[in-house]
Amino acid sequence: MGSGDTIRQNNRNAVSQNTYDAIVIGSGISGGWAAKELCENGLKTLVLERGRMVKHLTDYPTATMNPWDFQHHGRLPAEFRDQNPIISKCYALDEGTRHFFVKDREHPYIQEKPFDWIRGYQVGGKSLIWARQTQRWSDYEFNAPARDGFAVDWPIRYKDLAPWYSYVEKFAGISGNADGIEHLPDGEFLPPFELNCVEKHIQKTVSERYADRQVIIGRCAHLTQPAPIHLEQGRGQCQARHLCYRGCPFGGYYNSNSTTLPWAERTGNLTIRPHSVVHSLIYDERLNKATGVRVIDAETKQVLSFFAKVIFINAACLNTNLLLLNSVSHRFPDGFGNDHGLLGRYIAFHLYRGSAGARIEGFLDSYYYGRRPTQAFMPAFRNIKKQHMDFLRGYMLTFSASRKGWRQGSGEEGLGAGWKEGISEAGEWVISSGMQGETIPKYENHVRLSKDHTDEWGIPQLITSIGYDENDEKMLKDVLVQQAEILERAGCKDIHTNDSHQAPGLDIHEMGGVRMGRDPKTSLLNEWNQFHTCPNVFVTDGACMASTGNQNPSLTFMALTARAANHAVSELKKQNL
């Protein structure tokens, strides 16, 4: 064999060694589901994760630590906050969880408009640090763009996703009540957590005073009573510690690390490659399909290529947009699938700015047990069946009630026995309320690649140009009025409302940029989450969303992913991919 033959043979061997049936980019909530479904269906699947390996149990270093075990008793030191002004705003970040967050300097981006980008680069992604709220969408969400005249019509309806909601709920484990709310469909529920006495009082007041509103316990991905499938996964009952963001040693809540990824691994078909920064897709002009991905090893900076028949992109919304924008070829000079300039456009998010608080007298003979990992919810009540407000779409409200020591929250400092008693005794009941509102996808809200700045892997930095609009401000105004009114009617005192003025992004629910739709001229993905222009590439994370609804999106990501992955398997068997 001559030297040329040897080189060609070595190249063929390298390609063969790096070839799989399927590649999944990202290992978080949606990537884990893609891996599980593909592996269970017999596909040799490579999961590429840009961050480090995190194994369930093994890599939760702070999961069982007490407050006094931490150098700063759980608080973030001033130096850390100064160096990380963006992530330090996140509700889930403290001294015990900071190892699961991307530090501000580790992956820079350019904020053309203020945007707080919260990321988790590790196996499991943000499934380790999410808030675990899980609500189904209804046809009020899937019909909304067509009905209200914004965005593009969804190519699916609730009936298309309903069986897949059930499928993922049974496996993940979702606690909640069957509440019989038409625009918040019931699911496959484990026993619910319980509202406390003050929350029940608000629930009763709302039921008596409002015909269009209902207070329910939040539906969440926690095992209140593990079913056999959860025990088979090696998971146990939620202990209501609410230390979930450290990683749960009981497996009490859903994350990729304790559920979908181990389930995929046990098939023998899974390969996980951490420290793998995906640079771009490889597009074959002759075959008119994607054949693989280019990867930069995060540690060595070595450039590698991996190949597969089908590719799932689940890098989380903005990183998925970044990857596709950087995937240029002769066929796609402006980014993968970007024939009509839509890629990176119509980014939307959830509006979280409005909150309220109050105190309520009485109920001093009652307390509560544990740290319940969910709260009370009031599903949307604006613009449900018809447009009756001066803004489009609507919002959910959240409530929680608790008892505070009489010095807690005062900001006052002190020492001694009197101080200790003041912060430890059960004081009066206080109530806090928040919002989660739907924002409208707009062409102007977009991300694009910088022409001048790259990251340490040589990939262009992402520019975020995402902001609020008049619709958001009108919705916020109504939220603040309604929160105060509800608390007043419940008999609360010292009611105060607040606009946090927080930047988009801190909601951590960014969606869009690679939206689904019926028409290839106005969307990038079809009803199965395949590119119109390249059907062997799927996007099933937040980037695929045509609108945001007002419910939490993660359960919908799971259901879309399971549905798309099984469709991909079917199409592969038919040799259509």
Where along the chain do its domains lie? 177-217+350-438+468-503
Which H or E element spans position 470?
A: helix 470-489
Identify the CA nearest to 467 among candidates 353, 314, 322: 353
The packing angle between helices 197-209 and 470-489, to 10°, is 110
pLDDT in tens, 38-80: 999 999 999 999 999 999 999 999 999 999 999 999 999 999 9
Q: What is the Cα–Cα distance from 212 to 504, expressed in whole angstroms?
A: 29
The pLDDT score that the predictor gives to residue 433 is 98
Residue 346 DSSP SS3: strand
Three-state secondary structure string covering 381-445: CCCCCCCCCCCCCCEEEEEEEEECCCCCCCCCCCCCHHHHHHHHCCCCEEEEEEEEEECCCCCCC
Distance of CA 311 to the CA centre of its chain: 21
Q: Count the Cβ atoms, other than its own, within 10 Å of residue 110.
A: 17
Residue 153 DSSP SS3: coil
SS3 content of the chain, % helix, strand, coil (to 5): 25, 25, 50
Residue 379 is classified by DSSP as: -
The pLDDT score that the predictor gives to residue 411 is 57
pLDDT in tens, 349-405: 999 999 999 999 999 999 998 899 999 999 999 999 889 999 999 999 999 999 986
Identify the CA nearest to 437 among candidates 509, 487, 374: 509
Token pair for 140: 């009020």
Q: What is the Cα–Cα distance from 64 to 148, expressed in whole angstroms?
A: 49
The pLDDT score that the predictor gives to residue 323 is 98
Residue 321 DSSP SS3: helix
The stretches in the chain having pLDDT less than 50 are 3-4, 6-11
Residue 99 is classified by DSSP as: G
Q: Which residues pair with 317 in a beta bridge?
A: none
Phi (first) and psi of residue 36, to 5 degrees: -60, -50
Q: What is the Cα–Cα distance from 283 to 474, expressed in whole angstroms?
A: 45
With beta carbons less than 8 A apart as the criterion, state whether 21 and 308 touch. yes
With beta carbons less than 8 A apart as the criterion, state whether 468 and 445 touch. no
The pLDDT score that the predictor gives to residue 11 is 46
Cα dihedral 165/170/172/176 (nearest 10): 80
Alpha helices, H only, 138-277: 139-142, 144-148, 158-172, 197-209, 228-232, 260-265
Identify the CA nearest to 376 among candidates 179, 227, 165, 223: 179
Label residues 26-41 b or e (16+ Cβ within 10 Å = b). bbbbbbbbbbbbbbbb
pTM of the prediction? 0.95
Q: What is the Cα–Cα distance from 403 to 542, expressed in whole angstroms?
A: 37
Three-state secondary structure string covering 112-125: CCCCCCCCCCECCH
The pLDDT score that the predictor gives to residue 3 is 45
